[in-house]
Amino acid sequence: MSELVVALIQERNHGDASANLAVIETRVREAAAAGAQLVVLQELHNGPYFCQREAADEFDLAEPIPGPSTERLSALARETGVVLVSSLFERRAPGLYHNTAVVFERDGSIAGRYRKMHIPDDPGYYEKFYFTPGDLGFEPVDTSVGRLGVLVCWDQWYPEAARLMALAGAELLIYPTAIGWDPGDERAEQERQREAWITVQRGHAVANGLPVLSCNRVGFEADPSGVGKGAQFWGSSFIAGPQGEFLARAGEADPEVLLVRIDRARTDAVRRIWPFLRDRRIDAYGDLVKRYRD
């Protein structure tokens, strides 16, 4: 399969899991009707981005995997015949929760999952309160459309995560995401942050010779605690090719189904002229496992 049709579903929060999943079903059907074989959803797509505050009652949103949402998403993948990348708040055990991407095969079966490894703790992004760091490693998920290097949001800032997925044979790097601006920041600062987010991911595409699919949410979401100014999610979902070139870009403000055809043969062609994997000095990288060189 040298050509792969992929779709990103950039959406806003519609209130709760039932409403959001209903919209997702509509959008995935649209993407499948347009020829999509692989569809990617945004991070924690079932509801609002609840990590703006620390509140124990938010754990009520978590679900087991398999569970109610995976049943519904499984049926959707089976109905539309797409490979579907979802993002759920996983209840693994009492007091043990993860931010987990679940990949569904075209027949509705669960092809694999990835638990978010890098967990932020910043104003408005208090994820360490909710999520245990992942313990499944940086392992791609094998599917009928290829080997998918699925990572989640904060992981996208770390070149090590992208590299380890590439070294494990990932054919695509995929990032379900929920990131936005502090409405109190000046516009120039907001733009610097958004451009940095785009640039670092394009760098992963270049450094590894792989397409990158980054799917973000849109819309303003108030801080339920009333302490913060809320989050304005900046959208800007995009698909980049193996030289970091833009193949498709979404806007900053509106829901959108981003659809593009990826020529997967270009990965091999690009890696032949830019042989970064060949020229890595693996004999000299031992200090990378240190926190810092004092």
Report residue 245 as tokens: 């070139």
The total number of structural domains that make up the chain: 1
- 182 forms beta bridges with none
In a domain, 259, yes or no: yes
pLDDT tens digit sequence for 29-63: 999 999 999 999 999 999 999 999 999 999 999 99
Count of CB atoms within 10 A of residue 25's CB? 16
In a domain, 294, yes or no: no
Radius of gyration of the chain from its Cα atoms, rounded to whole angstroms: 18
- Residue pair 47/13 in contact by the 8 Å Cβ criterion: yes
Q: What is the CATH number of the domain that holds 246?
A: 3.60.110.10
pLDDT at residue 144, rounded to an integer: 97
Residue 63 sits in which domain range? 3-289
List CB contacts of 13: < 8 A, sequence separation 6 or more.
Answer: 20, 47, 48, 49, 217, 219, 221
pLDDT grade for 159, boundaries at 50, 70 and 90: very high
pLDDT at residue 1, rounded to an integer: 67
Query: Per-residue pLDDT averaged across 74-94, rounded?
Result: 98
Smallest CA-to-CA distance from 217 within 20, 18, 81, 83 is with 20
pLDDT tens digit sequence for 247-262: 999 999 999 999 999 9
Strand order in the sheet with 146-150: 141-143, 146-150, 172-176, 212-215, 238-240, 246-249
In a domain, 28, yes or no: yes
pLDDT at residue 279, rounded to an integer: 97
pLDDT tens digit sequence for 60-80: 999 999 999 999 999 999 999
Spatial separation of the C-alpha atoms in residues 58 and 105, rounded to whole Å: 30
- The mean of the pLDDT values for the chain is 97
In a domain, 133, yes or no: yes
Spatial separation of the C-alpha atoms in residues 90 and 194, rounded to whole Å: 28
Residues forming the active site = 43, 116, 153
In a domain, 256, yes or no: yes
One-letter amino acid at 156 equals Q
pLDDT grade for 110, boundaries at 50, 70 and 90: very high
Smallest CA-to-CA distance from 52 within 225, 234, 177, 182 is with 225
